[in-house]
Structure 1
Amino acid sequence: MAADSSAGAPSTWPELRVADWTATRETLHMWMQIVGKVRLAHAPLVNHWWQVTSYVSPRGLTTSAIPYGSGVFDIEFDFVDHRLVVRTSDGDVRTVALEPKPVADFYRETMRALRELAIPTSIHASPNEVEEAVPFAEDDRHDAYDPVAAQLFWRQLLQADRVIGEFRSYYVGKVSPVHFFWGAMDLACTRFSGRPAPPHPGGAPNCGDWVMEEGYSRELSSCGFWPGGGEEGAFYSYAYPEPDGFAGHPVAPGDAFYSKDHGQFLLPYEAVRTADDPDRALASFLHTTYEAAAVHGGWDRAALEDDPDRWAHRRPRHPRRRRQGS
């Protein structure tokens, strides 16, 4: 059982050691791949595979509306009541309990729920971007589910999503939503310069190189949160293609560093959690690492960036903490 530092009232930035919930995280990763592949099976392609992601919700992670026939459905991991909820625009609902169970059982129960809702779905029923791609129907090794850890993970995502969303608002060029990719299991937001990029070499395990080529088809700066890095997860930021001088660019806060092994800047989650001002610490990392890509990549920053409060003088003022870190 993961330690709950909240004592009944969760900390704004909760503590969750990677080592304390590894088995649950690996099981959740497979469950999330199943749900993500359902969305992939029904949603039309959007550039860089944006149609396959999930989004942080008030209760967990949701696919948002997925088209089917003349209606829609959605699937949500509810980490409050610990259930997978499948809803249709016809008003029908099915649930699958989030509890200790093998991936194979979760897969069968989720597919059955879709059939009962008259949404029969066929997916590529093996995981991507992991070294051992055990078919979902045969996976009896991943079966852990710690509800405390799952909820703390979601609360980590709530905070990361909030601050990254604020960072996103300073960009008026092409920029992704803040969304959750189930392949690598990370929350991400990506800014684009507007220029094409060289073909990505690929190399992700059990994932076609053409998948990465689509994902990295335009020059970009991407940031996000990965729950599997460091002691408590890590925030990251990288550029593709990486421009000369990127790795040596000064970034903040002091705990941030460039990892040659990963080819990106990293900031331990615990460094943010324990900072005097966690929001500002993370914002400074997001802004300065983006600058590393934009400055050394020669991006047209005057055309791509703007003040999110540029219309404040024309509308009623609502208090909002500004967290620009640069």
Structure 2
Amino acid sequence: MSGPHDAWPTLVHEELASMVGYVSRVVQVAGKYTLDEPFEVGWGNVVLLDDDVVIDADTGSRTVPLSTGSVATFYAAFLGAAAELGIDRPRSLLICEIPDCAPTFEADHAERSWDPGAARLMWEALSLAAGGLETWQAPFRGHRPRVGVMWGGFDLSATRHRVQPTEPPPDRPMFMQNAQLTAYVAVGFSFGDATSPSAGMYAYIWPQPDGLEGRSWGVDGAVWNADAGLVLLPWDTLGETADPHQAIVKFGDAVYDAAVKLGGWPSDLIGPRVDGWYMSRTPPEVVRAQHHWAY
């Protein structure tokens, strides 16, 4: 991802909204199975596949194609395939975090079309964002779940956690209260929605410290949105930078710097950012010398 991006993908909300709505419901079907397990920080992520959903288990593998049809039809096909592998249906059927949606998968009979072109564009955007987020996460020595798509809000997320108990707001849904039991910094990517249609990077610090207004966020065009409680970097603005990959890293570093300076986060949780390929080509005696001098 180094260097200018002449072919940086354009994300138009009106052209992707239908597919985003479809895929965000599909990933929730698999995501519901995590609710039947003990809660774990970062448990909300899922793996996105191609134009099929693949169920792998010790008892075998099944493929459920994604095509024109309703979410209810897909859900029935998914349950049927899972049953053949000895997997019970999840205990929760609720569709969550999607405004004005049907209450359950079985009740969502709206006809939906699978658009391979839009799916490819979505995958490309997620892949580009994930590359930058993974580089940003690499030097963090604390707890950091893998970069993944959070199946509820359908956003790509990278989080850094700190062992500091916090008090979740009592009016938040239970899944949000669970997520806010300890402090964390989140940087991610979202396709946007009807109320905020611009795709792009977002970030926030929990608990939110004072003094976020007027700060620099590493990349020209990144701004603090007090109403949303988010730092935002629009996708088009990111694509105009000389190196979008490094721009994502700088954006994340600026957010973590704010957490250190304003929220009391420890600075010693960040190790050196090292080129792994360079390290693999360096003779062991040189690595040892570099390691010695580093201390």
Residue in structure 2 matched with residue 217 of structure 1 by the alignment: 181
The answer to whether residue 158 in structure 2 is matched with residue 189 in structure 1 is yes
Give the corresponding residue for 1:307.
272
Distance in 2 separating the partners of 1:176 and 1:51: 8
Question: Could you tell me which of 65, 71, 78 is aligned with 1:110?
Answer: 78
Judged with a 3 Å threshold, the aligned counterparts in structure 2 of structure 1 residues 193 and 117 are, in CA distance, closer, same or farther, namely closer
Whole-angstrom CA distance in 1 between matches of 2:158 and 2:221: 21
**CA-to-partner distance for each residue in 1:63-108, whole Å, 9 max, x for gaps?**
xxxxxxxxxxxxxx32xxx111112233x22211111211110111
SS of the residue aligned with 1:21? helix
1:141 partner SS = coil
- Matched with 1:68 is none
Kindly state the Cα deviation for residue 202 of structure 1 after the two structures are TM-superposed.
Answer: 4.4
SS of alignment partner, residue 271 of structure 2: coil
Evaluate the alpha carbon distance shift between residue 241 and residue 120 of structure 1 in structure 2; reply closer, same or farther with a 3 A threshold. same
Say whether the 8 Å CA contact 1:200–1:217 is kept in structure 2.
no
Counterpart in 2 of 1:74? Answer: none
Distance 1:217 1:233 in 2: 28
Identify which of structures 1 and 2 has the higher relative contact order when contacts are C-alpha pairs closer than 8 Å and 6+ apart. Answer: 2
TM-superposed CA distance for 1:272, in Å, is: 1.4
Q: Tell me how many residue pairs correspond in the alignment.
A: 276
Q: Structure 1 residues 110 and 301, CA, compared in 2 at 3 Å: closer, same or farther?
A: same
Match of 2:93 among 93, 104, 125: 125
Q: CA deviation at 1:234?
A: 1.4
Note closer, same or farther for the CA distance 1:274–1:174 as it changes in structure 2 (3 Å cut).
Answer: same
> Match for 2:35 among 40, 50, 63?
40
**In the alignment, which residue of structure 2 is the partner of 1:89?**
58
- For residue 17 of structure 1, what is the amino acid of its counterpart? V
Amino acid of the structure 1 residue aligned with 2:167: P
Over 3 Å counting, the alpha-carbon distance change for 1:312 and 1:179 in structure 2 is closer
Q: 1:237-284: per-residue Cα shift (whole Å, max 9, x none)?
A: 101111111233221211101112211100011111232211122222
Structure 2 CA distance for aligned equivalents of residues 297 and 187 of structure 1:
24
The amino acid that maps onto 1:45 is: F
**In the alignment, is residue 165 of structure 1 matched against residue 134 of structure 2?**
yes
Q: Find out whether 1:28 has 2:28 as its counterpart.
A: no
- Counterpart CA distance in 2 for 1:285 and 1:160 is 12
Displacement of 1:300 after TM fit? 1.7
Asked if 1:51 corresponds to 2:15, the answer is no
CA distance in 2, matches of 1:282, 1:314: 23
Decide whether the 8 Å contact of 2:212 with 2:224 is kept in 1: no
- The structural deviation recorded for 1:232 is 5.1
**Residues 195-247 of structure 1, C-alpha deviations (whole Å, 9 max, x = no match):** 111223443xxxxx222111011112111001125665110010111111123
Distance 1:137 1:11 in 2: 43
102-111 or 288-297, which moves further after superposition? 288-297
Contact 2:161 2:182 in 1 (8 A): yes
Contact 2:185 2:256 in 1 (8 A): yes
Specify every segment of 5 or more residues in structure 1 that has no aligned partner in the other structure, as ranges: 1-9, 56-60, 62-76, 204-208, 319-326
Stretches of structure 2 that go unaligned for 5 or more consecutive residues are 284-295
* Pairwise CA distance, 1:129: 1.5
| TM-aligned CA distance change 1:288 to 1:119, over 3 Å | same
**Aligned counterparts of 1:201 and 1:148: Cα–Cα separation in 2:** 42
- 8 A contact 2:209–2:262 mirrored in 1: yes
CA contact (8 A) 1:13 1:155 kept: no
Q: For 1:286 and 1:301, how far apart are their aligned partners in 2?
A: 14
Q: In the aligned structure 1, how far is the partner of 2:202 from the partner of 2:90? A: 34
After the TM superposition, which segments of 4 or more aligned residues of structure 1 sit over 6 Å from their partners?
310-314
Q: Distance in 1 between matches of 2:220 and 2:246?
A: 13
Q: Please give the alpha-carbon distance, in whole angstroms, between the structure 2 residues aligned to 1:142 and 1:244.
A: 46
Q: What root-mean-square deviation, in Å, do the aligned CA atoms of Structure 1 and Structure 2 show?
A: 2.4
Is the CA contact (8 Å cut-off) linking 2:136 and 2:248 kept in structure 1?
no
TM normalised by structure 1 equals: 0.78
SS at match of 1:293: helix
Q: Matches of 1:219 and 1:39 in 2, distance apart?
A: 22
